[in-house]
Amino acid sequence: MPDPLPSPHPLALPVAPPRLPSRVLVTGGAGFIGSALVWALNSLGIERIVVTDRLGRDEKWRNLVPLRFEDYLEADDLMAPLERGALGRFDLVLHLGACSATTELDATYLAKNNFEYTKTLAHWALGNEVRFVYASSAATYGDGAHGMEDRDDTTAALTRLRPLNAYGYSKHLFDQYAAAMGVLPNVVGLKYFNVYGPNEAHKGEMRSLVHKAHGQIEETGRVKLFKSHRPDFRDGEQRRDFLYVKDAIAMTLHLAMTPHAGGLYNIGSGEAHTWLELTGALFAAMGRTPQIDFIDMPESIRAKYQYHTQADIAKLRATGYTAPVTPLADAVRDYVQGYLVGDRRLGD
């Protein structure tokens, strides 16, 4: 069965790239966005791909089963053969590998895994004239007090940002490092907002609300949402920039294949929706009447909770990306009916 896609097809890149990459390294390639990128590359006829990840004990290996690629390596086994040339030539690195848990408290682990590893891989890529595209995060913006615009990615502008958790800071460290080293114009950093969609089942508590709530509704017919603990937001009206993964990978590949694109880019819908709007779309996709219970937000996350995120994507649009963003209701319906029903992965 072909993958159901909302119309317009979000993988129809608005401008055909001058040339497709001949061989690609995808780190974190068994993960959520990484495996979606491998699927998208396959859809473009690209199969000369080397995938790295840490498969561990969860079931993200299932994301790889339908995909086509040359080789797989565990992440800790990548750099030695890469640096001695044993893996051959690449012309594109898509670096999605990272610990993405916003609740991770081991800052030393995050610094080594998310920052130091990215530095090492970036130096190799730049030294070998390989295009380097890496995942940053909207978590670098913190509470948004200094805006969520990506136009100014100078060291001075980045220094003003205040991430709210160690994960966001680990991503911010490399953004700052790349700016200070003067290499940002030669690489692409992607500040992903709230991405959701197929291939996220392994993420545990870091899954999107759509995935979590779908299970709640199947089991109880109801959804639990956090109460607001700020007087300027009513319960359920906290707002996030939700982006379907198929749009996220279309944006990613556009930037990867646009030679003049460089620096930091927001990857979002450009529109903020409330949690009530998101759950309403989910209930509609399941053919059910909304039933919502509001619960207290845990004390441990209240001070770090983002009440409003919205990507400014004008910089992305300026590179020639003209594809419309899939409307929220259409994206949720595609996800629920095409993947959550039947527990399917991209490419199944």
Q: List the domains of the chain with CATH numbers.
A: 24-196+243-270+310-325 (3.40.50.720)
Mean pLDDT calculated for residue range 179-188:
92
* Range with the poorest average pLDDT among 23-37, 68-82, 302-316: 302-316
Q: Does residue 203 carry a catalytic annotation?
A: yes
The pLDDT > 90 percentage for the chain reads 81
d(CA 168, CA 306): 12
Q: Which of 203, 212, 227, 304 is catalytic?
A: 203
pLDDT tier at 179 (50, 70, 90 boundaries)?
very high
Mean pLDDT of the chain: 91
In this predicted structure, the answer to whether residue 76 has a pLDDT above a threshold of 50 is yes
Token digits of residue 318: 């300026």
Mean pLDDT calculated for residue range 264-285:
97
Q: Report the pLDDT value the prediction gives residue 143, as an integer from 0 to 100.
A: 82
Q: Are 166 and 110 in contact (CB under 8 A)?
A: yes
d(CA 87, CA 71): 9
Q: Report the pLDDT value the prediction gives residue 18, as an integer from 0 to 100.
A: 57
Q: Does residue 246 carry a catalytic annotation?
A: no
Write out pLDDT tens, residues 310-321.
999 999 999 999
| Beta-bridge mates of residue 9 | none
Burial of 345 (0-12, 13-18, 19+ CB in 10 A): buried
Four-residue CA torsion sign, 331, 337, 338, 342: positive
In this predicted structure, the answer to whether residue 332 has a pLDDT above a threshold of 90 is yes
In this predicted structure, the answer to whether residue 265 has a pLDDT above a threshold of 90 is yes
Q: Report the pLDDT value the prediction gives residue 87, as an integer from 0 to 100.
A: 97
- At 34, which helix (H) or strand (E)? helix 32-43
Write out pLDDT tens, residues 122-145.
999 999 999 999 999 999 998 888
Burial of 251 (0-12, 13-18, 19+ CB in 10 A): buried
Q: Give residue for tokens 């996800």.
A: 335
pLDDT tier at 4 (50, 70, 90 boundaries)?
very low
Mean pLDDT calculated for residue range 10-14:
42
In this predicted structure, the answer to whether residue 274 has a pLDDT above a threshold of 50 is yes
Q: What does the angle CA 252 – CA 194 – CA 277 come to, to the nearest 5 degrees?
A: 125
In this predicted structure, the answer to whether residue 24 has a pLDDT above a threshold of 90 is yes
DSSP E strand stretches across 42-175: 49-53, 71-74, 92-95, 131-135
Q: 137 by DSSP, 3-state: which?
A: coil
Interstrand relation of 292-295 and 49-53 (parallel, antiparallel or unpaired): unpaired
pLDDT tier at 88 (50, 70, 90 boundaries)?
very high
Q: Are 306 and 164 in contact (CB under 8 A)?
A: yes
Identity of residue 220: T
Token digits of residue 112: 């080594």
Q: Report the pLDDT value the prediction gives residue 105, as an integer from 0 to 100.
A: 86
Token digits of residue 180: 């200070």
Q: Which of 141, 167, 169, 339 is catalytic?
A: 167
Q: Report the pLDDT value the prediction gives residue 14, as an integer from 0 to 100.
A: 39
Write out pLDDT tens, residues 190-243.
999 999 999 999 999 889 999 999 999 999 999 999 999 999 999 999 999 999
Contacts of 47 (CB under 8 A, 6+ apart): 41, 68, 69, 70
| Beta-bridge mates of residue 25 | 50, 93
d(CA 199, CA 193): 17
